[in-house]
Amino acid sequence: MNLAFKQRRARVGWLTLALAGLFVVAVLRLIVLVTFDGPRLNSLARSEHTAAVQLAAVRGPLVDRQGEPLALSAETRSVYAHPHRVFESSSARDRAKLAAALGMTPADLETRLKKPSPFVWLERRIDVDKAQAAEALGIDGVGAVSEYRRFYPESNLAAAVVGLAGMDGQGLSGLELEYDKLVRGEPVTLNFYHDALGHPILDSPLALRAPEPGAQLELTIDASIQSLAETQLATQVEQSGAKRGAAIVLDPFTGEVLAIANVSADPSQLHDRLHNPAVQDAFEPGSTMKAILASIALADGAITPSKKFYCENGQWTIDHRTIHDDARHGVLDLGGIIEVSSNIGAAKIALTLGAQRFYNGMRAFGLGFRTGIDLPGEAAGLITKPSSWREIDLANHGFGQGVGVTPMQLAVAYAAIANGGLIVRPHVVKAAYDVQGNVILRHTPQVMRRAIPPDIAHKMNQLLRNPVNGANGTAHRAKVDGFVVAGKTGTAQMVNPHGGYFQNRHVCSFVGFLPADDPRLLILVVLYDVGHGHFGGLYAAPVFSQIAAGAARDLNIAPNAEPDYDIASLFPLPAAKGSRHQLARASVPDPGDSIPALTGSKSPTTPNFIGLSLRAALQVARRLGTMVEVSGDGYVVAQQPAAGAPLRRGSIKLTLGSVLADAAPPAAATTRPAQPARSSRR
């Protein structure tokens, strides 16, 4: 073997080894790419060759408690284009026709088509006829898909409550935002494939599945009562010169909100869907605080209804500050202080009660933190810690100065006086239904806590009739024909942002309930930024009267003869069957059928509360003259002591649940079907 041959064989061997090494490196690199970098590279490839556009689903409707629509979605068409295909398949004249069909200039159309994108929207959410005219031109690369536009058939009724939905179907405010996940449904995504130069590879959209519609919300709002509240409030805002006003109507037992009205004198804020002052703005309540103060002082034992206070003939200096009344008053008991709305009397009650106990009582009534209403952006109000209060601060807080509450907080606090002392969570959505009509959400009455005992609520119910019916009452204009009304006026100076108070700018208000012996409606009216002398009894009380009269008609609340105030009951005696409006859809037992005859009975027994609603259970307890402790929400599912046990002094403990079917109705009770829905100073 010669030397030349050996050299060639060596070179071939080295070359073979080099090629084999390169092959091994290539294989290893391939393994790395597939095993470790594969998912990342696949994702990168898809992102470079696909484009996605999300189309909103049909938002579910919002309807009032009678089924009247407040928010609906209407079908529209959105026209899109693949610019490269449009330019390849059409002439300038064809594109001019397309621009005319879409209601735009040819120059605008050319600008949109020249965007560096494989897919562009030409027009979105336009009338179906206009989109069909564009499609009928037959230009390759032009198409249309269905989209939905939100509209409000009752115009701006309950605008701040219903809220607003954006162009892409997302909720922006109000219930549209709070329940967005339920209402917006499942959107659909369109995927478009294109090459490296942006040219579509396949016809697009590739796959279009039908989006899943959103849920329907059934509100507690009553459109007729809402309209009445807005109309009456707007009239008084104009006549009084107020800058704006708010009104709330709710059921004090269930927490169902029947109306939330917000009115502004500023045309630019007349129908603001983005802001709800009734739950998002705080104000100083003025003399409406006096009923809350009195309730706390009575419950604490700091005073009695007969305790008398000297009201200093209308002027009293404390801590180098002077507190004034609007008239000269001498010695007054609690009823007199409430009736004439004495600031000095309220200040002395607050000083008798003390800062810490007053603060604890206000917190128990829910002042200083959110009510939990199902609306976004609720404010917590403002109550400072009692450790920072001076003597004059405590006195001022007694008649509602230096304390910030929202209208909803104040309404819920007064509802506790009306319903026997319970703080009930307010809500504006009764139920939600999916597209098949199945219930996916239902709100039932939810008791948060007890603010005051039932006997204190009963006494305050009686005392709050004095401002409306007493000879020297401040709220005579709150009377409603045929009904006994309980309530309180309030007038407070507005806070100056630069310190102190405005002398000639006030907030006047009235909050009350009726019928006083069977509260069915709790109504609050607030007028902001009115002039001096615009007291709550003169300007807010008449709005209450008009709203209350109309709401009572709409709800078929029967007028009642005015009872003697000394013997009037907080809760009603059972009415004739079929005469009372039923709040629940399900059949509920009549509490009157299960109440034992107490007259002449030597050993009354505990009745069966199982299956009763909260309202019905409280009626039974009132007839028995006993107290109840409530936990949970919905209908009574458990009680202690058990039915049939000897009725003893003390409380009956009731446990409420959300499912009425879980509880058996009282053996002695009959059921009646639910009625169908009916079309701070003074």
Q: Give CA 17 to chain center in angstroms.
A: 79
Same domain (yes/no): 273, 173: no
Q: Domain end: 214, 242, 257, which one?
A: 214
Residue 566 is predicted with a pLDDT of: 38
| Range name among 5-14, 76-85, 258-267 with the lowest pLDDT average | 5-14
**CA atoms within a 13 Å half-sphere pointing along the CA-CB vector of 104:** 19
Number of domains in the chain: 3
Same domain (yes/no): 237, 201: no
Residue 262, domain member (yes or no): yes
Cis before residue 641, ω within 30 degrees of 0? yes
Contacts of 315 by beta carbon, 8 Å cutoff, 6+ apart = 322, 323, 324, 325, 344
- What percent helix, strand, coil does the chain show, rounded to 5? 35, 25, 40
pLDDT (tens digit, 9 = 90+) per residue, 644-676? 888 776 778 888 775 433 333 333 333 333 333
* Domain residue limits at 114: 52-214
Buried b or exposed e, range 124-144, using 16+ CB within 10 angstroms = bbbeeebbebbeeeebebbbb
Contacts of 323 by beta carbon, 8 Å cutoff, 6+ apart = 315, 316, 317, 343, 344, 347, 395, 396
Beta bridge partners of 323: 316
Contacts of 160 by beta carbon, 8 Å cutoff, 6+ apart = 173, 174, 260, 262, 272, 273, 274, 275, 276, 277, 278
Structure tokens at 372: 């939990």
Q: For residue 309, give the CATH number of its domain.
A: 3.40.710.10
pLDDT classification of 62: cutoffs 50, 70, 90: very high
Same domain (yes/no): 329, 421: yes
Q: Which pairing describes strands 171-173 and 447-450: parallel, antiparallel, or unpaired? A: unpaired
pLDDT at 70 over 70: yes
Residue 191 is predicted with a pLDDT of: 60
Same domain (yes/no): 195, 291: no
Structure tokens at 139: 């230009």
Q: For residue 79, give the CATH number of its domain.
A: 3.90.1310.10
As a whole number of angstroms, the distance between CA 477 and CA 465 comes to 13
Whole-structure pTM value = 0.74
Same domain (yes/no): 89, 192: yes
Residue 87, domain member (yes or no): yes
Residue 578, domain member (yes or no): no
Same domain (yes/no): 233, 201: no
pLDDT (tens digit, 9 = 90+) per residue, 309-352? 999 999 999 988 999 998 999 999 999 999 999 999 999 999 99
Residue 1, domain member (yes or no): no
Residue 47 is predicted with a pLDDT of: 59
Residue 522, domain member (yes or no): yes
pLDDT (tens digit, 9 = 90+) per residue, 478-521? 999 999 999 999 999 888 887 788 888 899 999 999 999 999 99
- Mean of the per-residue pLDDT values of the chain: 83
Residues 474 and 329: beta-carbon distance below 8 Å: no
Residue 246, domain member (yes or no): yes
Same domain (yes/no): 260, 384: yes
Residue 279, domain member (yes or no): yes
